[in-house]
């Protein structure tokens, strides 16, 4: 028996491969993006209480109502955008699921979707499996900025959506006011939609603002905006996120969602509903992560790796051109096998395998982890 693969060119993700190598060799894993420090004990206690209080059955398909209300309050406070918790917010099992469901809602066979590379690895498979055609535009190396002239040149009558990511994974670049102005001009009077991956909304550094699609009425009216609670509260394994969109778009989104996950972990939603109102927990995150990034940069200054500019996410890209000219995947495997540190080769974020001799490191780690890793990297 046989069937035709919907993703014939897709194998196991580089994150799985590098993490498996790190585990096998007992290397320090600065590759996959998850913290290794404890999450907030109060949130754990709230989840435990919710389970003991009997919140263990299906919640509403759209998400626990008090949680959606708390999210709406947060959005209005941060972005001055009034969204209706009952009709414009859907709670999802993680940010990647939120993005995939948005793509499934929008795309029909032959629709074109503009994607900027390097790109988070779920975007292009999500487009392809839904019958869409990815139109890939490279970001400008080494700044990883968008060349809007290239975007305009790529627009056709088949263009259905633009996939955005700010703060950007893997580079840490963030959209600027100029980018927003270009985007607004580009989509005005068109039927082009936006899927905006904003899972690192609170991990934005150097006192820069997060320019969410939620801030701009003309952009929000055509956007699915996707977020992750796991990234905010250091509990990535809980797989809890949400999507925000205008009511008419969210109605279609929920048609897909209800026949896939249907709903998410109830006790976590109940706990998040109250914890989300502790504003200091997410408002303090930029300063917390900036200290980690700055400390990692200080440590890495002892090495021959050269940092590229980063302003968001919990990743830092480093060039190894001064060390050797090996392909980045080979160099990453050498780091694991010989030096005991795992990183992610950035060529994995390109369909073409474009190799600028850079690696992505995750600095959302304990001080001791970062110090131990750099002790090894200074020997490279």
Residue 305 lies in a domain: yes
Dump pLDDT digits (tens) for 54-79: 999 999 999 999 999 999 999 999 99
Contact 79, 212 (CB under 8 A): yes
pLDDT at 231: 94
Percent of the chain with pLDDT over 70: 100
Q: How far does Cα 283 stand from its chain's mean position? A: 18
The Cα–Cα gap between 183 and 236 comes to 31
- Look at residue 20 and tell me whether its pLDDT is greater than 90: no
**Alpha-carbon Rg of the chain, whole angstroms?**
21
Q: Are residues 209 and 237 in the same domain?
A: yes
Do 371 and 321 fall within a single domain?
yes
User: Is 1 domain-assigned?
Assistant: no
Instruction: Supply 230's token pair.
Output: 């796991």
CB–CB of 340/28 below 8 Å? Answer: yes
The answer on pLDDT for 344 being more than 90 is: yes
Q: pLDDT at position 13, please?
A: 80
Cis omega (within 30 of 0) for bond into 10? no
Q: What are the tens digits of pLDDT across the range 253-289?
A: 999 999 999 999 999 999 999 999 999 999 999 999 9
Tokens of 17: 């491969």
Domain that holds residue 264: 43-278
Q: What are φ and ψ of residue 241, in 5° steps? A: -145, -170
User: Residues 147, 266: one domain?
Assistant: yes
- What's the rounded Cα separation, in Å, for the pair 32 and 266? 27
Same domain, 198 and 312: no
Contact (CB, 8 A) for 227 and 196: no
pTM of the model: 0.96
Domain boundary among 245, 263, 278: 278
Tokens 């263009």 label which residue?
159
- DSSP H or E run through 226: strand 223-228
Mean pLDDT of 9-38: 87
Look at residue 295 and give its three-state secondary structure. helix
Domain check: are 265 and 354 in the same one?
Answer: no
Q: Where do the H-state alpha helices sit in 133-201? A: 148-154, 177-187
Cross-strand pairs, 333: none
Specify whether the CB–CB gap between 137 and 150 falls below 8 A. Answer: yes
Domain count, the chain: 2
User: Regarding beta strands 159-165 and 193-197, do their DSSP bridges make them parallel or antiparallel, or are they unpaired?
Assistant: parallel
Structure tokens at 61: 């398909």
Q: What is the pLDDT of residues 196-235, one digit of tens each?
A: 999 999 999 999 999 999 999 999 999 999 999 999 999 9
Look up the CATH number of the domain holding residue 319: 3.90.1150.10
Same-domain check for residues 76 and 134: yes
User: Average pLDDT, stretch 71-95?
Assistant: 98
- pLDDT > 90 fraction of the chain, expressed in percent and rounded: 94
pLDDT at residue 76, as a whole number: 98
What is the chain's length? Answer: 380
Longest distance between any two alpha carbons in the chain, whole Å: 58
Rounded to whole angstroms, the Cα distance separating 356 from 118 reads 11
Same domain, residue pair 260 and 323: no
Do 110 and 175 lie in a common domain?
Answer: yes
Same domain, yes or no: 323 and 265: no
């Amino acid at each position: 028996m046989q069937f035709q693969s919907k993703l014939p060119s897709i194998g196991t993700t580089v994150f799985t491969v590098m993490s498996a190598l790190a585990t096998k060799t007992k290397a320090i894993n600065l590759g996959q993006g998850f913290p290794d420090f404890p999450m907030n004990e109060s949130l754990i206690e709230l989840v435990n209480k919710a389970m003991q209080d009997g919140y263990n059955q299906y919640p509403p398909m759209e998400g626990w109502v008090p949680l959606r209300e708390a999210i709406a309050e947060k959005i209005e406070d941060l972005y001055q955008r009034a969204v209706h918790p009952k009709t414009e917010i859907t709670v999802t099992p993680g940010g990647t699921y939120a993005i995939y469901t948005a793509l499934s809602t929008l795309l029909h066979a032959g629709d074109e979707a503009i994607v900027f590379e390097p790109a988070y690895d779920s975007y292009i498979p999500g487009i392809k499996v839904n019958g869409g055609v990815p139109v890939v535009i490279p970001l400008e190396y080494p700044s990883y900025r968008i060349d809007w002239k290239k975007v305009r040149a790529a627009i056709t009558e088949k263009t259905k959506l633009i996939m955005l990511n700010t703060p950007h994974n893997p580079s840490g670049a963030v959209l600027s006011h100029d980018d927003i102005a270009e985007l607004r001009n580009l989509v005005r009077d068109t039927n082009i939609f936006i899927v905006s991956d904003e899972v690192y909304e609170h991990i934005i550094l150097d006192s820069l603002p997060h320019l969410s699609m939620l801030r701009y009425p003309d952009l929000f009216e055509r956007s699915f905006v996707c977020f992750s609670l796991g990234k905010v509260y250091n509990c990535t394994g809980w797989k809890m996120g949400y999507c925000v969109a205008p009511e008419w778009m969210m109605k279609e989104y929920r048609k897909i969602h209800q026949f896939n996950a249907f709903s998410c972990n109830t006790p976590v939603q109940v706990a998040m509903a109250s914890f989300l109102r502790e504003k200091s927990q997410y408002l303090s995150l930029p300063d917390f992560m900036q200290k980690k990034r700055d400390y990692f940069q200080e440590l890495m200054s002892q090495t021959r790796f050269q940092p590229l500019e980063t302003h968001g996410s919990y990743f830092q890209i480093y060039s190894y051109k001064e060390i050797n000219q090996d392909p980045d995947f080979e160099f990453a495997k050498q780091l694991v096998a010989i030096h005991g540190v795992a990183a992610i080769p950035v060529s994995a974020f390109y369909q073409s395998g474009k190799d600028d001799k850079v690696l992505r490191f995750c600095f959302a780690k304990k001080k001791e982890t970062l110090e131990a890793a750099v002790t090894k990297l200074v020997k490279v």
